[in-house]
Structure 1
Amino acid sequence: MKPEVVTYTLQANGLGTEAYYRDVARFADEVLENAGAEPGIPEIAKYAVKRGMEPEDVRISVLEFLMIGVFWRSYGKFAAPLSLRAASRWLPRLYAWKSKGPRARWTVDLLKGCLNTAQLRVKRSAELGIHVRGFGKLIRWLQASGEFGPECRRLAVWLAFLRSLPASESRNLLLRAIRFAGWFERRSRCELGKYTPEVDAFIKARRNALRWKENLMFCTRGRVEYHLNMVGAELMNRAYRERFLRTKKRKMLLPICMRLKGEAACKAVRMDEGWVCQGCAKDCQVNRISAMGRETGFTALMIPHASTAFDRRNAADVPGEIGIIGVACILNLISGGYRAKELGFEPQCVLLNYAGCVKHWHPEGIATSIDLNQLQRILQDSP
């Protein structure tokens, strides 16, 4: 049966996902080629080395350069009139309290919903100034939203780099990032737009219902951010591939929305790091993936929420020894990759073929799935 398309689907026109993985790989190549002319990208790597940091793969630098421009174009108009210097310091710490228990989660979610509704309702004619101060303000706005923590930590390195440059050079680099994002938005609509056919309609239909809800900002992110995460996942998989293949142990993190049965009927057993499938439904893809893991040497765990998977208590004892295969819907891909790296894991990701969780996308929930052939390709022992 053809799955319902809520926002996106990797099975455009009712076909399989092979075309998607070819298209996103080809478009990622085009993005890298066009980014080759941007002078700030190799310079950021040199700056990181001077600061005693591990230099990132150039493909990650390209992703972050693109991210700057996309966020500026998407959220600059909201960040311009707001003063968030104090809020950006304490709100991320408050959001971290969600892991303390149900009552804390409810309280933080309520505050987050109120704040994000207020932030996205601001209508002013002011534009965010294209300079280092404006970039810092944008980062503070993103931090205050509670949706971009890992991305903001990466962009903070770019902010320090820009502050080390003369004002004219930093402004020129920001302008180039914004122009690059404009090109990306136009081209990604052509190359990847067929995989995000219902995003605009979903936002239009649900925006009012999502007011004051903690997932307002997450669920109303535009098509360009879907395309950014698609390309970002491809670039991250390439950049971290060799390190992943050198890992001694591997885990696969599956979202709870993949199970075929509902919460009451699913027989999965809760362990310290997640839920372990007990094989109660032969047709359940979680069951099939768990069996594949037993055959090929990885542990499959169902994770109810990203905060469970990337809790600091689950950090790798020895950085680089554990490989993580993360499965997620599109808007979680970049942040999930960064979180895995922060905890000492070497990540690869597989996209959910479509969105369907009851928390964000569908009132009853739809059992989601992945392309098992793509998973096999990730597990192959060659870059």
Structure 2
Amino acid sequence: MKIKTPYSLKSGAESSSEYYMEVSNFTDHVLSEAEFQIGRVIDDIDDYGAQSLYKPPSRDLMVFEALMIGVLWRAYIKRAVKLNCESQKLLATLSRKRNENEKLKQVIDHDRGVLATSVLLPEDPETEKISELTTENLNKLLKWLEATGEFQQELKHINTWMNFLGSLNPQKSSSHLAKIFMFADWFEYASSEVLGRYTCNLEEFVDENLEKHLWNEDIILFTRKRSEYHMNMFGAEVMSRNFKESFKSRPRKALLLPGCMRYLAESKCLASKTNLGMKCADCNPNCKVNSLSKLGERNGFEVYVVSHESSALSQSTQKDRDELGIVGVACVTNLISGGWKSESLGIPAQCVLLDSCGCEHWVDSSETTGINEDKLVKLLDIETGPCKEYWHCSAHSNGHKTCSHHVSIE
């Protein structure tokens, strides 16, 4: 039987509520373990921030950044060490031009797909062991990540660590990298034990569908490792915790949804364009975006559809940035970069993962994905359910009352 999706937060259950309980408990465990394994590393970069222009984030976010370095190192260093300078510069330039000029996107993406498959995907066959833990090799990893065009927000954070490690003597720098690597090694095992059931089909899904993604611009995104999925699940929980109070203090709230949640194809969707994204036109009662937009109207939050993380909030005004708190919805591979982009604009975000991948280029587009309703209403601090004062209730012939405006977004 063909595997339909690379991950599922429901994992066979009726809802993803158990996932959110498990990832919360697991996050506590990871943060506790981090103090034991890389606590001194976090202390040192915190001191570095106090002595430089770098303003360090919270300790929990620094743990996530360190983990990200270790996980990405384990995933890609064997590819990074074989990337030549000319190919790296060409791919980085193509990615930059693609983001700067939407009209060139289709042409550039064709070239990026060919180059990514031929020079970024293969690993060095002679590199049997992980490369030496040095800032020089870390810089090679950063160059590879830049060439993919998939890690723009992540690179901003890793570059800070690169500067920090470069300020240390080589011995201490390598020692810190070794601790980070060992922590990532522990995380890979621990996360597979706890979160692995939500990603258990990933490798088979990639194997079944790899051929149609070869030579396409999404090849690197498509072949992301299971440890990266788990890392992003942990990161989404850490981000939500750290930005929660700032989010709650904002006078305006907005829900940003991905295009894959629409019932109709983009060519038929009647949503209108705004500076924050597409706004629902109420063209189909079966559309999940429509249901969420109605929920927003009743409870005072805005709802927009954004086509891609790179375009999200790019046209927000200063007033938006001063007033907004957002709930960002995306699949596991995209949510972290979106959260960091929002944070860089001064807009605090809360994270809600799609219950499964909804990208029409990856999965059967006839089955739209959804989100966990309980998680959403908790983040937005609103009440929902039968017979609340803002629901319009109607009696059925069996004597039970239900709310005609109640939405189900599972």
TM-score, normalised to structure 1, is 0.92
Asked if 1 retains the 8 angstrom alpha-carbon contact of 2:276 and 2:313, the reply is no
Q: Which has the larger radius of gyration?
A: 2
Determine the structure 2 residue equivalent to 1:23: 22
CA separation of 1:22 and 1:299: change in aligned 2, threshold 3 A = same
Query: What corresponds to 1:327 in structure 2?
Result: 329
Contact persistence 2:4–2:205 (CA under 8 A): no
What is the CA–CA distance in structure 1 between the aligned matches of 2:344 and 2:172, rounded to whole Å? 30
Alignment of 1:115-130 (within 5 A): 115-117=115-117, 118-126=119-127, 127-130=130-133
Which residue identity is paired with 1:223? R
Pick closer, same or farther for the CA change 1:87–1:239 going to 2, 3 Å: farther
CA drift of 1:282 comes to: 2.6
| Partners of 1:81 and 1:124 within 8 A in 2 | no
Q: Shift of the alpha carbon at 1:296?
A: 2.4
Query: Shift of the alpha carbon at 1:235?
Result: 0.5
Do the aligned partners of residues 132 and 123 (structure 1) sit closer, same or farther apart at CA in structure 2, a change above 3 Å counting?
closer
Distance 1:285 1:317 in 2: 28
1:206 corresponds to 2:209: yes
**SS of residue matched to 1:20:** helix
Q: 2:232 aligns with which of 221, 229, 232?
A: 229
* Mapped contact 2:94–2:112 kept (Cα < 8 A): no
CA distance in 1, matches of 2:288, 2:212: 32
Provide the alpha-carbon RMSD of the alignment.
Answer: 2.0
CA distance in 2, matches of 1:53, 1:173: 19
In structure 2, what is the Cα distance between the partners aligned to 1:268 and 1:319?
Answer: 23
Which residue of the partner structure matches residue 277 of structure 1? Answer: 280
Q: Decide which moves more: 329-338 or 115-124.
A: 115-124
Q: Residue 286 in 1 paired to residue 289 in 2?
A: yes
Deviations 1:326-367 (A, max 9, x none): 1000101111111111222111111101112213x1254531
Residue pairs, 1:261-272, within 5 angstroms: 261-272=264-275
| CA distance in 2 between partners of 1:248 and 1:94 (Å) | 39
**Equivalent in the alignment of 1:355:** 357
Deviation (angstroms), 1:108: 2.1
Moved more, 301-310 or 216-225: 301-310
Q: How does 1:1-383 map to 2 (within 5 A)?
A: 5-37=4-36, 38=38, 39-84=40-85, 91-99=91-99, 103-117=103-117, 118-126=119-127, 127-311=130-314, 313-314=315-316, 316-317=318-319, 321-359=323-361, 361-380=362-381
**What amino acid sits opposite 2:377 in the alignment?**
Q
Maintained 8 Å contact 2:71/2:227: yes
| Change over 3 Å in CA distance of 1:232–1:52 after alignment to 2 | same
> 1:177–1:351: structure 2 CA closer, same or farther, 3 Å change rule?
same
Q: Compared with structure 1, are the counterparts of its residues 157 and 224 closer, same or farther at alpha carbon in structure 2 (3 Å cutoff)?
A: same
Gaps spanning 5+ residues in structure 1: where?
none
Match for residue 397 of structure 2?
none
Q: Distance in 2 between matches of 1:81 and 1:200?
A: 24
TM-score of the aligned structures, taking structure 2 as reference length: 0.86
Change (3 A) 1:32 1:96: same
Which AA in structure 2 matches 1:27? F
CA drift of 1:209 comes to 2.1
For structure 2, the residue ranges without an aligned partner over 5 or more in a row are 383-410
The amino acid of 2:229's aligned partner reads Y
Q: Does structure 1 retain, via aligned residues, the 8 Å contact 2:113–2:218?
A: yes
Q: Greater CA deviation, 205-214 or 93-102? A: 93-102
Distance 1:93 1:239, change over 3 A: farther
Q: Deviations over 1:61-120 (max 9, x none)?
A: 010111011001000111112233x66567445423334555410122122212221211
Secondary structure, counterpart of 1:13 in structure 2: coil
CA contact (8 A) 1:318 1:344 kept: no
* 2: CA distance, partners of 1:315 / 1:58: 30
**C-alpha distance after superposition, 1:221-243 (max 9, x if no partner):** 11111111111100010111111
> Which stretch of structure 1 is more off in the superposition, 100-109 or 127-136?
100-109
Q: Shift of residue 25 of structure 1?
A: 0.3
Letter in 1 for 2:370: S
Q: Give the % identical residues.
A: 34
Structure 1 pair 111–316 and aligned structure 2 pair: CA distance change class (3 A): farther
How far does the alpha carbon of each residue in 1:183-207 deviate from its partner, in whole angstroms, 9 at most, with x for none?
1111111100111121101111122
Deviates more, 1:131-140 or 1:108-117: 108-117
Q: How many residues align?
A: 375
AA in 1 matched with 2:31: L
Indicate how the Cα distance of structure 1 residues 106 and 119 shifts in structure 2: closer, same or farther if over 3 A, else same: same
Match of 2:195, SS?
helix
Change (3 A) 1:278 1:310: closer
SS at match of 1:121: coil
Report the residue type matching 1:41 in the other structure: I
SS in structure 2 of the partner of residue 27 of structure 1: helix
Q: Is the 8 A contact 1:79 1:128 kept in 2?
A: no
8 Å contact 2:279–2:305 — kept in the other structure?
yes
Query: In 2, Cα distance between the equivalents of 1:301 and 1:69?
Result: 35
